Amino acid sequence: MPDSTRIEGPHPPSSILVTGAAGNLGREVVARLQAQGGHVRRLVRRQTPPRAGAESVVGDLTDPAVVREALAGIDAVFLIWPLLDSAPAHDVVAELTAAGPRVVYLSTTAIDDEAARQSDPIAQVHRDMEGLLHEAGLHPVVLRSDTLASNTRGWAPQLRAGDVVSGLDIARTAVVDERDVADAAVAVLLARHDRLDQGSHVLTGPEVLSRADQVAHLGAALRRPLRFQALPADLARSRMLADGRPEPLVDALIAASVRRPESNRITDHVERLTGRPAGTFAKWALDHVADFG
């Protein structure tokens, strides 16, 4: 990210499309855009309860007709790519190129720019998507996010049943509050073009955490003696498949667990974009106690 101060001034585009709008991060982006007066259109895969003040387009992001409809009259797009394969994105990129909006793409800090191939399919698809967007001449603003704190919501069923979270272990990373990522995304989406930093922004939390660390913070917030139990890859795989997760996703998660290196990188990019430092996971846990009750 270029040296800069906070992006100043919102200058709202007439209309902003948020993909993945029903997800943990997408919902936060929609709420913040609306709070700042943005005209928001949501792209969701399934019909969801309407959100006051926001339009909705229902359909699959891989369907060019749906994307064309969603992009009509749009000036900026917050793009979350939901698949492990970038091939279906070629049609999406063609529609974006034809429509010509500003594109803000959510990527991952797991990308290694020096590597010909990435450590795992999740990092690889994000690297491929960044390449497609750049090659199309869209000049995307890329937000490379670290692990989102909201991912721990997946542990809620286990915590309702007991005090042990068991699952795949992963290398430590600077876990980031999804609300901070949403604030950063909105700052870019609403920025004036002449104040916009192009390129990649690396969004991290303020401390590097293991899964055991995250469980300990949740335990402190819930006032319970929680602990994390790492499972062997084969056992974790069988459990995730039994829970109904798609096999390609399960294999990608296992590859990330086994191959992805630890990241000790902490940046101030959240603060540069939003004007305030990134929040801690401990604060996130306190704010989300009800999600685990």
What's the pLDDT tens digit per position in 255-280?
A: 999 999 998 999 999 999 999 999 99
Tell me whether residue 243 is in a domain: no
% of the chain at pLDDT higher than 70 = 93
Instruction: Give residue 5's pLDDT band: very low, low, confident or very high (50, 70, 90).
Output: very low
Q: pTM above 0.85?
A: yes
Reply yes or no on whether the pLDDT at 224 is more than 70.
yes
pLDDT for residue 197: 60
Confidence of residue 198 (pLDDT cuts 50, 70, 90): low
Give the type of residue at 37: G
- Average pLDDT value for residue range 151-168: 96
* 273 falls within a domain: yes
Q: Does residue 242 lie in a domain region? A: no
Does residue 160 lie within any of the structural domains?
no
CA distance 9 to 133: 26
What is the structure's pLDDT at 3?
A: 43
Domain count, the chain: 1
Residue 53 confidence (pLDDT): 78
Where is average pLDDT lowest: 2-11, 142-151, 154-163?
2-11
**What residues make up the domain containing 126?**
16-148+176-205+265-278
Question: Is the pLDDT assigned to residue 7 strictly greater than 60?
Answer: no
Give the residue-averaged pLDDT of 99-125: 96
Proportion of the chain in helix, strand, coil states, percent, rounded to 5: 45, 15, 40
Mean pLDDT of the chain: 92
- CATH number assigned to the domain comprising residue 272: 3.40.50.720
Percent of the chain with pLDDT over 90: 86
60 pLDDT exceeds 90?
Answer: yes
pLDDT of residue 293: 81
pLDDT higher than 60, residue 96:
yes
161 is a domain residue: no
Does residue 54 belong to any structural domain of this protein? Answer: yes
Does any domain span residue 286? Answer: no
User: In the prediction, which pLDDT does 12 show?
Assistant: 52
pLDDT at residue number 54: 86
Return contacts of 128-137, CB within 8 angstroms, 24+ apart: 128/86, 129/81, 129/86, 129/89, 129/105, 130/105, 132/86, 132/89, 132/90, 132/93, 133/93, 133/96, 133/103, 133/105, 136/93, 136/94, 136/96, 136/97, 137/97
Distance CA 122, CA 16 (A): 26
Assess if residue 211 is contained within a domain. Answer: no
